[in-house]
Structure 1
Amino acid sequence: MRIIVTGGGTGGHLFPGIAVATAMQERIPGCRVLFIGTERQLDRTTLGGYDFERGTISCMGLKGMGIGHRFRSLAVLPKAVWQAGRILARFRPDLALGVGGYVTGPVLVAAKLGWGRRRIPVCIHEQNSVPGLANRMLARIADRIFLSIPCDYPFPPARTVLSGNPVRREIVQAAAEERPQPVTPVVLVLGGSQGAHRLNMVMLEAAPELKKRLADDFMVIHQTGSRDQDRVRAGYSALGIRAEVADFFQDMASLYSRASLVVSRAGATTLAELAVMGLPALLVPYPHAADNHQEINAHYYARGGGARVFLERELSGAIVADQIGDLLQAPEKLHTMASCMKKMGRPDATLCIVEECLRLVNANR
């Protein structure tokens, strides 16, 4: 069996695709996976450790750009579909799954046109509460539309499945294991795969008050992105706060297992991972996310009781310090939030998507 997974540009797009692809390989011995993504370093680094074939096409995004950029994007679309079609014709897939990002459009259109020996089932997965432009357009041709969380967009009900967001196998496994209670509470700070400058600076503003309030009874694990790594590390060190600081962490399962509380952006994949792990969170949505989808994502989990939401424009170091201190010094609040978060997790999301994809493949034979 051969499947194509397409998407990329952010970890939030890549990780669900990786979860489904690896599950397919485990389910069907000899299953070949071709991942068609972007040329970004993040894609190459993230996909490098997996047994996937790789492909790329030349295309550009449309949304949020100037009119000149949009015209150039539209002009290269026919070539992108042709490039995707040539890849499909060589690979001869049985199914194509798009997991988000502008690269998915040409690939799934080529698949629907039958470039890979015949027309094959086409599926999309929407991680966010507000679908992106690519998925809104691709929904017209998709055989299945998988949703991570409820969505107000009018996707056709007969072809739409509320599956949850696929989470990497190692995180599902970590969630199933009993986590030892840390001797010292651990605050995990995540700004996304590229880091978040404002979140980094707010944590540094909060650090002196946290040190005063909690003394040495906490530690921080902070993913900063490359821009702020040295500054953040020096800031914690100057205050004598125990901290592990890196631009990017690969082994998230291990970090989640150690965390007591998470301070994070509100990307869909991160939220799905936190829910599966049952980790309470202070969420600071990225204010410039398309269609404000991060804020809507965040409020979904806040309504469920697993998170608190703070808009970046209203945020200060004092607020962050007060919130972290309040929760770390009141274990019963932390435990209640953790339980609520856990109830919102969908550890079976990958299995749900794999089963439905296999049904489509079998029906198409």
Structure 2
Amino acid sequence: MKLCITGGGTGGHLMIAQALVEAAVKEGHEAIFIGSISGQDRKYFEDRSSFSHVYFLETTGVVNQKRFGKLKALWRVFRAFLKSREILKKHKIQATYSVGGFSAAPASFASLSKRIPLFIHEQNAVTGRLNSILKPYAKRFICAYDKNSYIKGYPVKEVFYKNARIRESIKTLIFLGGSHGAKAINDLALSVAGKLKERDIKIVHQAGESDYERVKQEYEVLGVEVELYGFTKDLESLIQRADLAVSRSGASTLWEATSNALPAFYIPYPHAAGDHQYHNARFIVENELGWCERESEDLRSKLLHILDESIIEKSKKLMEYSNSDVAQKMIKDVQESIK
């Protein structure tokens, strides 16, 4: 089977693309990637990873643009749509999997225009604008938060569930603000650093490249030893080593932690489209798998309270809730659907 995987813009979408291409190649299929020169698509896949070919087209988001900016963005999408049609024809693509994000628009519409079956994965509890438009025309629409979804669970890289373990106590705490960092999480980490040192809890912290120097200096002033990163691609090993996470609730990070049985305290990004990060985290809380608070709440008190709780039951529930072969099921579904 020859598959096109498209979408991106942010790490969350791209991690799904990575999980899908790994599963596709493992099953003996060929996959190409169509993304954008904007966002993080190049950062993830410029070296191709497991893709046979990668393409980065000139597109930007449309929804957040104003007036002429919106028209300009739509024109770029249209040109990328025409280019995507050429790419799909060149590689004799049999199916396209959209992982969402503005990068997915050209190849998704190009696939529909060429009658190539379109499969969609929605990563968030609140369906994105593009996916809402494409959903009626898709062969399949997969979402971990939808009880009626044909495939349950969320596709993550194999390493997360392969190295899953039950956490019995908190020896290492990881702070994750996403690829760009999060000042609220960085400030929370600094506010509890002294307490964590007293409890002999090791700190691992991804602060984001823009806030890295400030955070580094603050830790030095506090005299607290920390394993600090601006950005790292080695997130899987950091998550595996941690016993508790404090994190934004972007879907990929949330499900990677879930698959690894890592309990987490989620602090949703308040300006996420449709408040989707809050709804992602509420899903975890409602299933008694973790904790969630808004930025406006007393985060320090909540975190210190969590440190006094037993995490073993949460970790056990996460282990039971985790689905190990979601990406593989998604690829097999495509193969069977296009026969």
Sort the TM-score into its range (normalised by shorter chain).
over 0.9
> Could you say which residue in structure 2 is the equivalent of 1:38?
36
Aligned to 1:61: 61
2:240 is aligned to 257
2:137 aligned partner? 141
Q: Secondary structure at the match of 1:279?
A: coil
The answer to whether the Cα contact below 8 Å between 1:193 and 1:225 also exists between their aligned partners in 2 is yes
Q: Secondary structure at the match of 1:139?
A: helix
| Partner residue, 1:89 | 89
2:213 to 206, 230, 247: 230
Q: In structure 2, what residue type is equivalent to 1:18?
A: Q
CA shift at 1:163, angstroms? 3.0
2:160 corresponds to = 171
Q: Distance in 2 between matches of 1:137 and 1:147?
A: 15
Task: Deviation per CA, 1:33-82: give whole Å up to 9, x if none.
Answer: 21111214732222236131111222232223323322222333332211
What secondary structure is seen at the aligned counterpart in 1 of 2:163?
A: helix
Equivalent residues of 1:7, 1:100 under 8 A apart: yes
Aligned twin of 1:246: 229
CA contact (8 A) 1:85 1:110 kept: yes
2:179–2:231 contact (8 Å) kept in structure 1: yes
Counterparts in 2 of 1:143 and 1:180: CA distance versus 1, 3 Å: closer
Relative to structure 1, the CA distance from residue 290 to residue 192 in structure 2 (aligned partners, 3 Å threshold; closer, same or farther) is same
Q: After alignment, is 247-256 or 281-290 more displaced?
A: 247-256
* More moved, 284-293 vs 222-231: 222-231
What percent of counterpart residues are identical? 29
For these two proteins, the number of residue pairs brought into alignment is 337
> What is the alpha-carbon distance in structure 2 between the residues aligned to residue 19 and residue 199 of structure 1?
27
Q: Which among 295, 309, 312 is matched to residue 335 of structure 1? A: 312
Structure 1 unaligned residues grouped into runs of 5+: 152-156
- In structure 2, the residue corresponding to 1:35 is in which secondary structure? strand
Q: Which ranges in structure 2 are unaligned for 5 or more consecutive residues?
A: none
> Are the counterparts in 2 of residues 282 and 309 from structure 1 also a CA contact under 8 Å?
yes
What TM-score do the two structures reach when normalised by structure 2?
0.92
Measured after TM superposition, the shift of residue 7 of structure 1 is 0.7
Question: Would you say 1:354 and 2:331 are equivalent positions?
Answer: yes
**C-alpha distance in 2 between matches for 1:268 and 1:41:** 17
Given the alignment of the two structures, is residue 204 of structure 1 paired with residue 190 of structure 2, yes or no?
yes
Q: 1:137 to 1:94 in 2, by over 3 A?
A: same
* SS in structure 2 of the partner of residue 150 of structure 1: coil
TM-score normalised by the chain length of structure 1: 0.86
1:125 equivalent among 118, 121, 133: 121
Partner of 1:269 in structure 2?
252
The alignment yields a C-alpha RMSD, in angstroms, of 2.1
After superposition, the Cα gap between the structure-2 partners of 1:335 and 1:110, relative to the gap in structure 1 and judged at 3 Å, is same
290, 294, 304: which one pairs with 1:325? Answer: 304
The Cα offsets for residues 194-237 of structure 1, whole Å up to 9 and x where unpaired, read as: 211222122223324x25xx515111100111011122122223
